[in-house]
Amino acid sequence: MVVFCAVSAAQCEGDMDYAVSVFENVENPDGFLWNTMIRGCGNTSEPQKAFEYYKRMLYKGEVASDNFTFAFLLKICGRLGSVLLGKQIHCNTIKYGQESHVFVRNTLIHMYGLFRDIHSACRLFDEMPSSDLVGWNTIIDCHVYCNKCKEALDLFLRMLGTGIEPDEATLVVTLSACSTLGALDFGRWVHSGIENTSIGEVVSVSNALIDMYAKCGAVEEAFETFNKMEQKSIVTWNTMILGLATHGHVDKALTLFQNMLKAELARPDDVTFLVVLCACRHGGLVDEGRRYFDIMRKNYYIQPSVKHYGCMVDLLGRAGLVDEAYQLIMNMPMVGNAIIWRTLLAACRLHENVELGEQVRRHLLKLEPDHSSDYVLLANTYASAGQWNEVLRVRKGMRDRAVQKPKPGNSFIGVHSGEAYNNAINTANTYGLI
């Protein structure tokens, strides 16, 4: 009964109360029951309670911590983002001789990846005498999570060189790295290696391929992959619709969505409607955006999130309907964040609506008083209306508060793509992969 209740709570983030009541009546719980309670607490809204059971287990001293105990605890540390606690549990794995257990070691690597401590993750991985597929997947995923995507592709090539065959998890995370880097040639090479194979027919892998091609600008190849899929999930549809919309194919994106609805090929979710609203925003389709926003609520009973409202505010604002956008924010069931107000402020600048811009700025002052872009947007709003004294006043306020503009970012497509592709070909030839 304890196992059933605790595992059910872990799988659906439910209530552990009944499992606790049953567990407390067990006179001498064994290690399996302690681990079950730790695991169950880990996926509830209060995962820190798992450590209370761990302390109680240590205090009783009747049962020794095993690899399952530490794997569950380390996973919780990663989820909590608690570096200090994670290191303490890591020390305990060494104390109880569990650090070298492959299950625990892989979880340690994953935890340090979540902490963005890629150095520790790599050290733990390199210390393993032999890495299995799970270990390789974990370290590759850590690098992608830490935005070290070129290194992730290098690790993928190293894994192939050891003779380990990738599974769907490997391919999904590797293609994700290609998407981030814009490494289209590498992504194509990966695709060529799995095309017409059983793993190439896995839905999650095909979804990753569509996403990779779309983000690298190869929309036709994304659509070709989409059309070849015999089974499609809602993620498939969402990815393809967004890919088309992002690259200016708004009509095709909305047609694809309408075909999905008419044929009842998949039931749209909140992400689907967010993608559709983004498509409407890209195309400046105000009426369509309003209609889909209403359909989401009335036909599919999906409560809009602040992101859905943000898309609508941007759509209305770009079309010059700034007053309607303002009323939409004021009537939201949740408090508007700084991003959504800043979106409206940008629209006020675009359409030279000084009066509303000042109102919006007052809302932003309550949320993020020293954000540089708010000063710049308001100053530009005054400038567009020729109110130069107000421009000087805003800029003086910015200087007086020592507000600095953020450093510019960088964007790139295909950086390291050719190098990565050449490495892939060389490695493939060396190990007889092609």
pTM of this prediction?
0.83
Average pLDDT along the chain: 88
**Which residues touch 257 (CB under 8 Å, ≥6 apart)?**
237, 241, 268, 272, 276, 279
Average pLDDT over every residue of 415-427: 50
pLDDT in the model for residue 414: 52
Domains of the chain: 130-230 (1.25.40)
Average pLDDT over every residue of 25-32: 86
Cβ(108)–Cβ(86) below 8 Å: no
**Which residues touch 130 (CB under 8 Å, ≥6 apart)?**
none
d(CA 59, CA 53): 10
- Residue 145: other Cβ atoms inside 10 A: 18
The tokens for 345 are 């402020």
- 140-183: pLDDT as tens digits: 999 999 999 999 999 999 999 999 999 999 999 999 999 999 99
